[in-house]
Amino acid sequence: MSRKVTIIGGGPGGYPAAFILAQQGVQVTLIEKDKLGGTCLNRGCIPTKVLLEASHVLRQIKTAQRMGIRVKEVDVDYSILRKHKDNVVESLVKGVEKLCEARKIRVVKGTGVLETLQSIQIRESGEAIKGDAVVLATGSVPAKIPVPGADGPGVINSDQALSLVQVPPSMVIIGAGYIGLEFAQIFHGLGAKVTVLEMLPQALPNEDQDVANELERALKQEGIQVLTEVTVKEISGKEGRKKVNYAAKGQDHTLESALVMLAVGRRPNTEGLGLEKAGVKTERGRVVVNPFMETSAPGIYAIGDAIGGIMLAHVATAEGHTAANHILGKRHPLDYKAVPRCIYTYPEAASVGLTEAEAKKKYGEILVGRFPLQASGKARIVGGSGFAKVIAEKQYRGIVGVHLVGPHVTEMIAEAAAVMNLECTGEELAHTIHPHPTISEMIMEAAMAVEGYRIHSL
């Protein structure tokens, strides 16, 4: 077992790996050039959810009249909201720092570069840190698009959107993945006029079509314009008066807005690490690893967004756990079949496993059970729209995909992930007693539909 391990990157992959190793007596050095917590805590998961929560609270206030609750005037002080966001982030960063201190992990501020298999140099200080193993957890950075004007003034990425000191009157968001849709709802909820442009035929291109259709419908209903199958040709104009030229169905169009935001995904942050010198194989910028997170260079591991794949914080944590276990002499390969995917818009969306199209392609014959949220008693109480969809392969009736849209479904998807990990059938899920009245009942009802019977829907 390695007794000294160096980890480059203190995000949701790096610091959990450090904690696991330190608790087993390993001497850990954690190198972070910015703040502990990485993109997720500082510029991603946490701050965006603070802003989304504010947007959701505003929505509840504005729709409270249906319950007889009248609110005459609603005002948002964005400076206070920004301060609240920053306070939440700061408290969580301090929490990670204290945990590092309590576990006697040495935290080095700087940029780590691979010099040899067992040596890392800190670029800023020149210090050489030696160890028995290295874990690369350098995360990702916002991707760019090859469009004229995409790097001009008034064009921002998701990181920069979180630093805005005021809500713009209007915004065009390029990219309708989960990042684009979440920011669309944030800024629309806070008063901006928002248009989302997507190159592919549907919003959320990697998700089940029913999920994409439901969210697209919900966003359009509240006034967010979502345009698909468009090609952005040029971004022009000065900050505050931007123009986006795009083509759709053979015709050219122009949109004007105060700001343009690029939400076209993220790419591995692996440049300048000395990977080639250390013998670490890469493909299109991502580090290549085996199921134990080992790279092509003995003793060097890589996890999280640096290896591409599913770029989600909880996946990075699982990969960090896998790498740490392997360093400790435990061989537990990571299985990606049941990775939850969550979108924190209103309504929320959450999925695990295969989409319906993917399941048909893989298995041929499948069974699909659906349950509409409107048929749920709890949904009638809290409001909202959505559905549950359970997909099973026909031969053994094992569940291979679950897709949910509705209130609080990001909290419920873990049940579906556990069910898939345990290789449960639709019948076993249908026979699992769910509490009433809850939104979670729709998972049970959709599983019943897989087996050909229903209670609260036709």
Q: Residue 434 has what pLDDT?
A: 96
Q: Residue 1 has what pLDDT?
A: 56
- Co-location of 248 and 291 in the same domain: no
Distance (Å) of CA 106 to CA 5, 31, 123, 128: 11, 8, 17, 14
DSSP 35-62: -TTHHHHHHSHHHHHHHHHHHHHHHHHH
Q: Between β-strands 119-122 and 128-130, what pairing exists: parallel, antiparallel or unpaired?
A: antiparallel
Which is the catalytic residue, given 332, 431, 436, 456? Answer: 436
pLDDT < 70 positions in the chain: 1-2
DSSP 138-163: --EEE-----TTTTSTTEEEHHHHTT
Judge residue 236's burial from the number of C-beta atoms within 10 Å of its C-beta, 0-12 exposed, 13-18 middle, 19 or more buried: middle
Domain assignment present for 184 = yes
pLDDT in tens, 375-423: 999 998 988 889 999 999 999 999 999 999 999 999 999 999 999 999 9
- Co-location of 279 and 227 in the same domain: no
Residue located via tokens 């609750």: 69
- Co-location of 66 and 134 in the same domain: yes
Q: Residue 112 has what pLDDT?
A: 94
Domain assignment present for 123 = yes
Domain count of the chain?
3
Residue 429, domain extent: 341-450
- Co-location of 385 and 443 in the same domain: yes
Helix, strand, coil percentages in the chain from 3-state DSSP, rounded to 5: 35, 25, 40
- Co-location of 100 and 248 in the same domain: no
- Co-location of 308 and 165 in the same domain: no
Q: Residue 2 has what pLDDT?
A: 62
Tell me the CATH number at 22.
3.50.50.60
Domain assignment present for 147 = no
- Co-location of 181 and 51 in the same domain: no
Q: Which amino acid is at 39?
A: T
Instruction: Determine the Cα–Cα distance for residues 197 and 242; give it in Å rounded to an integer.
Output: 15
Q: 15 by DSSP, 3-state: which?
A: helix
- Co-location of 194 and 255 in the same domain: yes
Distance (Å) of CA 264 to CA 146, 203, 214, 234: 11, 12, 21, 15
Q: Residue 127 has what pLDDT?
A: 92
16: cis peptide before it, omega within 30°?
A: no
- Co-location of 249 and 352 in the same domain: no
> Is 408 among the catalytic positions?
no
Q: Residue 118 has what pLDDT?
A: 76
Domain assignment present for 456 = no
pTM (2 d.p.): 0.94
Backbone angles phi, psi at 189, to 5 degrees: -60, -30
Domain assignment present for 65 = yes
- Co-location of 277 and 314 in the same domain: yes
Q: Residue 239 has what pLDDT?
A: 87
Q: Which amino acid is at 452?
A: G
- Co-location of 101 and 220 in the same domain: no
